[in-house]
A and B are shown apart, each in its own frame.
Chain A
């Protein structure tokens, strides 16, 4: 069972109790990001740019062929991340460690840029760090 299927199983079985709360829909995700082009990424967290309105974190992603490429990921605002328990220090504590992300690609076709929805650091805890897209 893939991580995505496992997450679905837990979410569906638990009903709404385990589904993360939806962020206020002040942004239209679909305006900038392509929900038909979402995928999973695994790599090493290398850098964090913690600014408003969105922090960006940078990951060296291992592509299937073995090539490593740097991707940038957009997340919720710093305020929202602090309040849901994924604050700046959590990211800093995981620099140079493995991270798993599910995110969607930019509609402009910008290379190696995605909006992160969920992620897991080395502790295995599933965290919502951006709008869920698919």
Chain B
């Protein structure tokens, strides 16, 4: 441990001295700027912005290019990002409860091997994430086009899309199973509440093996408290799989200006390699 520590501390000390010298030099050469403390990060939390934009009918307008972080821009693989800007919520402030699985469901999830778990992830197998995963496990952007009668959600990942009709239509009695379910929406003050049923059974709620039954019912609650923030809260009801409904933390998406890109999954070599590992697991389950 001592060796390991010294391996880190020595370069830290050298590097720290270099930074201190550089900081001192720059303040002499360029003078003090706005603050006595140097700017800590290059990419920071996007401020709330102006007031909530509204549609002609007075309801909040959720239109915008939304990033799944606090920065309003891409943060993956970038240097100097405030950790607070990389996440959608602070678990210390709004902790997210763990799902309470029925015993049989928990055993089914636990029986998955690491490779089976990996292969089940839509980020790996290129299946649509579906609802509610598109709001819970999506590192790419979502473009919302919102009019009084309809909200179109364009998902960058896999070029998926979804229309939510805002004309008061009820949920279908015999829903066809869709990846994004069948939705009915209503306003609760400035909150848009969307309930959905009828889901394709190949989707997972979260990329941890959390599967669902034909009883899955998802409630989304959308708010836009200011120009730059979109808050999405998810409730999952699934009495066959869960002992009680699960609620997400209020997850913040932030408004960005950048381009949205094409994302057709056309060259998925990972499946080939993971299938080889799966075959190895079947031959030797102990590994």
- Chain A residues with a Cβ under 8 A of chain B: 1, 5-6, 8-10, 12-14, 16-24, 26-28, 30-32, 49, 51-54, 56, 74, 76-86, 106-108, 110, 127-130
The DSSP consensus for interface residues of chain A is: mixed
Q: Which of B210-242 contact A (CB under 8 A)?
A: none
Known contacts A26-B123, A84-B74; is A51 also within 8 Å of B40 by CB? no
Q: Which of B255-275 contact A (CB under 8 A)?
A: 258-259, 261, 263-270, 273-274
Known contacts A12-B11, A51-B266; is A21 also within 8 Å of B75 by CB? yes
- Total residue contacts A-B, CB cutoff 8 A: 143
Can you give 28 contacting A-B residue pairs, CB < 8 Å? Answer: A10-B15, A13-B13, A13-B16, A13-B19, A14-B15, A14-B19, A16-B41, A17-B40, A17-B41, A19-B79, A21-B86, A24-B76, A27-B118, A31-B117, A31-B118, A49-B267, A53-B268, A54-B269, A54-B270, A79-B140, A81-B77, A82-B74, A83-B73, A85-B78, A86-B77, A108-B277, A108-B280, A130-B77
Cα separation A12 to B209 with both chains bound (whole Å): 35
Cα separation A8 to B12 with both chains bound (whole Å): 8
- Chain B residues with a Cβ under 8 A of chain A: 8, 11-16, 18-19, 40-43, 68, 73-83, 86, 114-115, 117-118, 121, 123-124, 126, 137, 139-140, 156, 207, 258-259, 261, 263-270, 273-274, 276-277, 280
Cα separation A28 to B117 with both chains bound (whole Å): 9
State how many angstroms separate the Cβ of B264 from the closest Cβ of chain A: 6
Verify B78–A20 contact, CB threshold 8 A: yes
Verify B14–A13 contact, CB threshold 8 A: yes
Shortest Cβ-Cβ A-B pairs, 5 listed: A13-B15, A83-B74, A9-B11, A24-B139, A128-B77
Verify A21–B121 contact, CB threshold 8 A: no
State how many angstroms separate the Cβ of B17 from the closest Cβ of chain A: 8
Verify B276–A108 contact, CB threshold 8 A: yes
